[in-house]
Amino acid sequence: MHLSPSLRHHAVPEQVMERLNTHLYLQNCCIMKENERLRKKAQLLNQEKQALLSQLKQKQKQNQTLASSSATSNPNPKIPDLNATPPSSTMTSSGSKLST
């Protein structure tokens, strides 16, 4: 079957448009599938982040509790107790130690 030039002119672009439309449709399907995959991955990463943040807060709370309990039992461990007995060794006038 031979088409007149005017009909052929319209038939070719219609086929081209149909192929292009099919190609774009398939691309869109792939993009939507990839988008769904990435959305699920982002959701899992967010859940993992929340769990790690919760663990970190729990550890910080434990550390604060330990620090406050040690501060009450020994408020300033670096300050020496002046009421404690002195060491048993004494210094001689020449600067050498003499044990008693």
Four-CA torsion 85, 87, 92, 94, nearest 10 degrees: -130
In a domain, 35, yes or no: yes
Between CA 2 and CA 34 the distance in angstroms is 45
How many structural domains comprise the chain?
1
Please state whether the predicted TM-score (pTM) of the whole model is above 0.85.
no
In a domain, 27, yes or no: yes
β-strand partners of 80:
none
In a domain, 57, yes or no: no
Q: Tens of pLDDT along the chain (100 residues)?
A: 555 555 555 566 899 999 999 999 999 999 999 999 999 999 999 999 999 999 999 999 999 888 887 766 655 667 777 777 776 665 566 666 665 5
In a domain, 30, yes or no: yes
Tell me the Cα Rg of the chain: 41
> Are residues 98 and 92 in contact, defined by beta-carbon separation less than 8 angstroms?
yes
In a domain, 61, yes or no: no
In a domain, 23, yes or no: yes
Task: Look up the domain containing 23 and give its range.
Answer: 15-42
Record the tokens describing residue 89, joined without a space: 């060794």
